Amino acid sequence: MTALADQRSQRESTRIGVGDARSWLLLSALEAGRFDHAQLSCADQVVLDLEDGVDDTRKGLARSNVVDWLLGGGSAWVRINDWSSPHWSADLEALSRIPSLAGVMLAKTEAAEQVTDTFQRLGGEIPVVALVESAVGIEGACAIATARGAARLAFGSGDYRRDTGAENNELAMAYPRTRLVVASRIGRLPGPIDGPTVSKSHGVLREQSAAGVAMGMTGKLCLDVEQLDVINESLSPSASDVRWAMGFFAEFSASGGIIRDGSDKPRLARAETILVRAERYSISVD
């Protein structure tokens, strides 16, 4: 086994799965020289972009870059072109039957059948993250979340703002985020993936990540490897959260493990979620 193959194998052995992935690193499929670095980074998941990051005249080259890298031992998700685009079929044809394809992110998803069509075209086994980026998509989020093949919802916040004229602030983003969170719950999916933070400031990134977490988002798209550590930390339970959960369970057990009032069940559920996520992200408390 070559050194690179060994590094890839080690990284994939610790990869956070689609349902728990916090950071989703989006990388243009034209930047083939950065694919290995992205795969070996601390990104929970890597998404090679065949859609907005690639001009129509270069789609073929980008597609070839992705296919060659996947067949050469790489592993990642791929953001494919939207269902209404002529490039959608070409993307699926190129990606079908590649074992190392982790999944696809379907751009500009607006209806359940777009997810199901994509899922079936890929053989009915490859997971699909539905990237919702428009007013129509947000209003159809519940149907999209329950579509066959849907693994998770993601928020294309930039295109949503372009479509609706909404500003990039917490108040304007509250409605679409809530729709995606509620739809994910109805569809029994993990919490949705929030849109990216364009600012290079880690302070702004922490602030926007916290706003998403407060709304129920459990993942976040990102455009720069320098953002990964901040996102992973911001979307993980804090040490104080873990201490609270451990303390609550200890107190509950000491009192006989009997429900005492109406607040116990919600607190039990929250404590359990915190401890499960802490274990998955290897968060320890001294």
CATH number at residue 111: 3.20.20.60
Residue given tokens 């066959």 in the structure block: 148
Residues 217 and 195 in one domain: yes
Residue 276 token pair: 């499960």
Single pTM value for the model: 0.93
Residue among 116, 176, 174, 125 at smallest CA distance from 145: 116
The half-sphere exposure of 137 on its side-chain side, counting CA atoms within 13 A, is 27
Cβ-contact 115, 144 below 8 angstroms = yes
In a domain, 144, yes or no: yes
Residues 158 and 248 in one domain: no
Residues 62 and 145 in one domain: yes
In a domain, 34, yes or no: yes
State how far the Cα of 103 lies from the Cα of 76, in Å rounded to an integer.
7
Residues 110 and 202 in one domain: yes
Can you give the pLDDT of all 286 residues of the chain as single tens digits? 689 999 999 999 999 999 999 999 999 999 999 999 999 999 999 999 999 989 999 999 999 999 999 999 999 999 999 999 999 999 999 999 899 999 999 999 999 999 999 999 999 999 999 999 999 999 999 999 999 999 999 999 999 999 999 999 999 999 999 999 999 999 999 999 999 999 999 999 999 999 999 999 999 999 999 999 999 999 999 889 999 999 988 888 888 778 887 788 888 889 998 898 898 898 887 6
Residues 105 and 229 in one domain: yes
State how far the Cα of 150 lies from the Cα of 129, in Å rounded to an integer.
6
Residues 128 and 152 in one domain: yes
What is the pLDDT at residue 282?
A: 87
| 248 phi and psi angles, rounded to 5 deg | -65, -45
Residues 71 and 36 in one domain: yes
In a domain, 285, yes or no: no
Residues 247 and 116 in one domain: no
State how far the Cα of 68 lies from the Cα of 285, in Å rounded to an integer.
43
Residues 195 and 83 in one domain: yes
Note down the domain range covering 254. Answer: 239-280
Residue among 80, 63, 91, 74 at smallest CA distance from 38: 74
| 233 phi and psi angles, rounded to 5 deg | -70, -45
What is the pLDDT at residue 21?
A: 98
Residues 122 and 248 in one domain: no
What is the pLDDT at residue 106?
A: 98
In a domain, 286, yes or no: no
In a domain, 262, yes or no: yes
Residues 227 and 275 in one domain: no
What is the pLDDT at residue 1?
A: 65
Residues 216 and 273 in one domain: no
In this structure, which amino acid lies at residue 22? Answer: R
Number of domains the chain contains? 2
